[in-house]
Amino acid sequence: MNFIEDSLLNSGFSWTLAKSLPYILVIIFGLFISIYLFKKFKIKRNWLRRVGITLLTVSFFFSYFAYAPIYEGDFSNNAESILKTNKLNEIKPNRLFVISIPGCPFCAESIVRMQKLKKRNPKINIEYIICNGDSTALDWYAKKAGNEIPANLAKNNKAMTALAKHKYPSFVYQSGNKLNCWSNDGFGVRALDEIESHF
């Protein structure tokens, strides 16, 4: 998220609104500026005004898009729901688990999002589960994530790896006797809003 989105997020907007509102505002702003300019310069040809207003408005949108591009998973909420088994007992209710591996850059990037999520709603419990790691990986995650977001080595590497489907990071939240599992590209702002709604 960029500075504008962060500011909206810190002002209390939902994750989805904080991501989408700047694009909407840029379009509205571009439209008003375009209309104002064409009125000021008294361009009377309707087709020229329409084309000009459209092009100017679109250019405002694409300028912001170049600054803050929308990626495929940004608005996604593609959870897969699976039944919890005894092999997955380290996943507990009322906690968001992030299944990670050592040396994963996307896992490292997810820490910033999780810190923002925790800051927005301190009631949310977040925990990193590190698969196929050792104490050095654990120390690295603990240093990056801070005291408020614990990191632990997986008790059952095979089960956690299978749960993540070898896609890291993966996000897991228990709802009843089912686990909602998101891959990184399926855990966008709508998924973050869903997690917040549980707390």
Q: pLDDT tens for residues 167-187?
A: 999 999 999 999 999 999 999
How would residue 106 be classed by pLDDT, with cut points 50, 70 and 90?
very high
Q: What distance in Å separates the CA atoms of residue 14 and residue 78, rounded to the nearest whole number? A: 18
Residue 44 backbone phi and psi in degrees, to 5: -95, -20
How would residue 46 be classed by pLDDT, with cut points 50, 70 and 90?
confident
Name the CATH topology of 80-197: Glutaredoxin (3.40.30)
Q: Where does CATH 3.40.30.10 sit in the chain?
A: 80-197
Q: What distance in Å separates the CA atoms of residue 4 and residue 56, rounded to the nearest whole number? A: 22
pLDDT digits (tens, 9 = 90+) for 64-94: 889 888 988 899 999 999 999 999 999 999 9
pTM of the predicted protein model: 0.88
Q: How far is CA 109 from the centre of its chain?
A: 10
Among 29-38, 76-85, 160-169, the minimum mean pLDDT is found in 29-38
Quote the pLDDT of residue 43: 67
Q: What distance in Å separates the CA atoms of residue 33 and residue 25, rounded to the nearest whole number? A: 12
What would the DSSP string read from start to end of 80-142? EEEE--GGGTTS-SS-EEEEE-TT-HHHHHHHHHHHHHHHH-TT--EEEEETT--HHHHHHHH
